[in-house]
A and B are shown apart, each in its own frame.
Chain A
Amino acid sequence: MLKTLTEQFPPLSRHEALVEANRCLYCYDAPCTHACPTHIDIPRFIKKIPTANLLGSAQTILASNLLGATCARVCPVQELCEGACVLGAEHKPIAIGRLQRYAMDHVYNNGIDVFQPGPPTGKRVAVIGAGPAGLSCAGELARLGHDVTVFEKRELPGGLSTYGIIVLREPVDVALAEAAMIARLGVKIESGVEVPRDLSAEDLRARFDAVFLSVGLGATPALGIPGEEFILDGLDYISQSKMNRPELKPHPAVLIIGAGNTAIDCATIAKRLGSGRVTMLYRRTENEMTAYPHEYAFVKNEGVDFEFLTLPVRVLTDNGAVAGLECVRTRLIPHPEPIPGSNFVLPAQQIIKAIGQQKPSVGAALGLATERGFIQVDANLRTSQPAIFAGGDCIRARGAASTVMAVQDGKIAARAIDKSLAEKVAA
Chain B
Amino acid sequence: MADLRINFAGIQSPNPFWLASAPPSNTGAQVHRAFEAGWGGAVWKTIGPPVLNVSNRYGAWHSGSNRMLAINNVELISDRPLAINLREIRDVKRAWPDRAVIASAMVESTPAAWQTIVRQIEDTGADGIELNYGCPHGMSERGMGSAVGQVPEYCEQITSWAKAAAKIPVIVKLTPNITNIVLPAQAALRGGADALSLINTVNSIISLDLDTLELIPSIGGKGGHGGYAGPAVKPIALNMLAALGTDPSVSGSGKPISGMGGISTWQDAAEFLLLGATSLQVCTAAMHYGFRIVEDLCDGLKNWMDSKGFATLADVRGKSLHRVSDFQNLDLSYRAVARIDPALCIKCNLCYVACNDTAHQCIDLVDKTGARVQPCTWDPAGNGREEAVSTRPQPRVRDEDCVGCRLCYNVCPVEGCIRMVEEPSGRESVTWQTLVNTEPAITNDWEAMKRYREAHGIDIH
Contact = CB atoms under 8 A, between A and B. Distances in A.
A79 B385 contact: yes
Contact of B383 (A22, A37, A87, A89): A37
Contacts of A31: 347, 388-389, 392
Nearest to A84: B388
B388 A34 contact: yes
Among A28, A32, A87, A89, the most chain B Cβ lie within 10 Å of the Cβ of A28
Contacts of A50: 64
A86 B383 contact: no
Contact of B375 (A23, A29, A32): A29
B348 A25 contact: yes
| Size band of the interface chain A makes with B | 20 to 34
Given A22-B65, A28-B353, A39-B380, A86 B347 contact: yes
B357 to A, nearest CB: 9
B350 A25 contact: yes
A29 B65 contact: no
Nearest to A400: B384
Interface in B345-362: 346-350, 352-353
Contacts of B388: 31-32, 34-35, 84
B346 A79 contact: no
B395 to A, nearest CB: 9
B381 interface: yes
A206 interface: no
A28 B384 contact: no
Among A19, A27, A90, the most chain B Cβ lie within 10 Å of the Cβ of A27
Main secondary structure of the interface of B (DSSP, over half): loop
Contacts of B380: 39
Contacts of B392: 31, 34, 84
A21 to B, nearest CB: 9
A270 to B, nearest CB: 30
Given A34-B383, A34-B387, A28 B378 contact: no
Contacts of B385: 35, 78-80, 83-84
A79 B376 contact: no
A51 B153 CA distance: 47
B342 interface: no
B375 A79 contact: no
A405 B382 CA distance: 11
B358 to A, nearest CB: 12
Contacts of B376: 29
A90 B344 CA distance: 10
B346 A86 contact: yes
A36 interface: yes
Interface residues of B, number: 24
Nearest to B379: A34
Interface string A80-94: 100110110110000
A233 B173 CA distance: 82
Contacts of A379: 381
Nearest to A379: B381
B413 interface: yes
B389 A84 contact: yes
Given A34-B383, A35-B385, A27 B378 contact: no
A18 interface: yes
B65 A28 contact: no
A122 to B, nearest CB: 30
Among B347, B376, B384, B391, the most chain A Cβ lie within 10 Å of the Cβ of B384
Contact of A28 (B64, B348, B381): B348
B349 A28 contact: yes
A382 to B, nearest CB: 15
Given A31-B389, A35-B384, A35-B385, A19 B349 contact: no
Given A84-B389, A86-B348, A34 B65 contact: no
Given A22-B64, A35-B385, A50-B64, A87 B349 contact: no
Contacts of A90: 346
Nearest to B66: A22
Contacts of A405: 383
Interface in A1-44: 18-19, 22-23, 25-29, 31-32, 34-37, 39
B65 A18 contact: yes
A27 B350 contact: yes
Contact of A35 (B65, B346, B352, B383): B383
Interface string B384-400: 11011101100000000
A35 B348 contact: no
A80 B64 contact: no
Contacts of A80: 383-385
A267 B64 CA distance: 42
Contacts of A35: 383-385, 387-389
Contacts of B387: 34-35
Nearest to A43: B348
A96 B278 CA distance: 50
Contacts of A28: 348-350, 352-353, 375
B376 to A, nearest CB: 5
Interface in A49-104: 50, 78-80, 83-84, 86-87, 89-90
Contacts of B383: 34-37, 39, 80, 405, 408
Interface in A350-395: 379
A34 B388 CA distance: 6
A79 B378 CA distance: 18
Among A34, A37, A39, A379, the most chain B Cβ lie within 10 Å of the Cβ of A34
Interface string B275-307: 000000000000000000000000000000000
A17 B387 CA distance: 28
B346 A89 contact: yes
Interface string B44-74: 0000000000000000000011000000000
Contacts of A27: 347-350
Contacts of B352: 28
22 contacts: A19-B65, A22-B64, A23-B65, A27-B350, A28-B349, A28-B353, A31-B389, A31-B392, A32-B388, A34-B382, A34-B383, A34-B388, A36-B383, A37-B384, A79-B385, A80-B384, A83-B384, A84-B385, A86-B348, A89-B346, A379-B381, A405-B383
Given A23-B65, A34-B382, A39-B383, 11 more contacts: A22-B64, A22-B65, A27-B350, A28-B353, A28-B375, A29-B349, A34-B391, A34-B392, A35-B385, A35-B389, A50-B64
Interface of B: 64-65, 346-350, 352-353, 375-376, 378, 380-385, 387-389, 391-392, 413
Interface of A: 18-19, 22-23, 25-29, 31-32, 34-37, 39, 50, 78-80, 83-84, 86-87, 89-90, 379, 405, 408
Top 9 nearest A-B pairs by Cβ distance? A83-B385, A35-B388, A28-B353, A22-B64, A34-B388, A84-B388, A29-B375, A37-B383, A86-B346
